[in-house]
Chains A and B, each alone.
Chain A
Amino acid sequence: EDQVTQSPEALRLQEGESSSLNCSYTVSGLRGLFWYRQDPGKGPEFLFTLYSAGEEKEKERLKATLTKKESFLHITAPKPEDSATYLCAVQPNTGNQFYFGTGTSLTVIP
């Protein structure tokens, strides 16, 4: 069964304290893996798409990486404005389904 699991469920960091969020997935074949950021009271905002193992994408303090079984979202020297819920989603290479994880709620303390 296709599945996406994100960990940890919640993460509190001091400003400047780097860390990583994990998204592990089980799909028959991967067409793409997507990261979104969601602020309270808003819809998810697209961050990255990764398509193949070894691929990396960067945006400001965020870097997403992909292996055959998981993706990491690395946050370097986070700031309070990075506080949000980060969602991962995968698209299998068969069918039109698109599976989301439950997200990691990140809080960065000044």
Chain B
Amino acid sequence: ETGVTQTPRHLVMGMTNKKSLKCEQHLGHNAMYWYKQSAKKPLELMFVYNFKEQTENNSVPSRFSPECPNSSHLFLHLHTLQPEDSALYLCASSQDPGDYGYTFGSGTRLTVV
């Protein structure tokens, strides 16, 4: 257990479905992140939250919608996804946004059919 918990671990969804990914951390960290990891590609930063406020949106399509109700929880709402969105979605946290000693969750393996 790394301190960052992601659910579900696996998700298969159709292109017309709506689903949500959940991330929870009890490390007392102030910053939380969503990353996308695709095969043979570097990790791609999607969103950054600091004290519940979104500080970065890395040109992510609007079919991905983040939500951070408090500094311990982070969600990624998904709707009308494309097959190329299939990937491992990783949540991470750190003490502050400038502190990159991240603690990552185990990820959600998403398959869009």
Contact = CB atoms under 8 A, between A and B. Distances in A.
Interface of A: 4, 32, 34, 36, 41-46, 49, 87, 89, 91, 96-102
B56 interface: yes
Pick from B43, B104, B107 the residue with the most CB of A within 10 Å.
B43
Contact of B100 (A32, A87, A101, A102): A32
A34 B92 CA distance: 15
A100 B14 CA distance: 30
Q: Chain B at the A interface: mostly helix, strand, loop or mixed?
A: loop
Q: Chain A at the B interface: mostly helix, strand, loop or mixed?
A: strand
A100 B42 contact: yes
A101 B42 contact: yes
Interface of B: 2, 4, 6, 40-43, 45, 48, 55-56, 90-92, 97-98, 100-107
Contact of A43 (B45, B101, B107): B107
A41 B92 CA distance: 15
B104 A96 contact: no
Nearest to B101: A46
Q: Which 6 pairs of residues, A with B, have the shortest CB-CB distance?
A: A43-B104, A100-B42, A100-B43, A42-B106, A44-B104, A43-B106
Nearest to B92: A43
Contacts of A32: 100
B2 A43 contact: yes
Pick from A36, A43, A44 the residue with the most CB of B within 10 Å.
A43
A98 B33 CA distance: 12
B97 A96 contact: yes
Nearest to A43: B104
Contacts of B4: 43
B56 A96 contact: yes
19 contacts: A4-B42, A42-B107, A43-B4, A43-B6, A43-B104, A44-B102, A44-B104, A46-B103, A49-B100, A49-B101, A87-B43, A89-B43, A96-B48, A96-B56, A99-B42, A100-B42, A100-B43, A102-B40, A102-B41
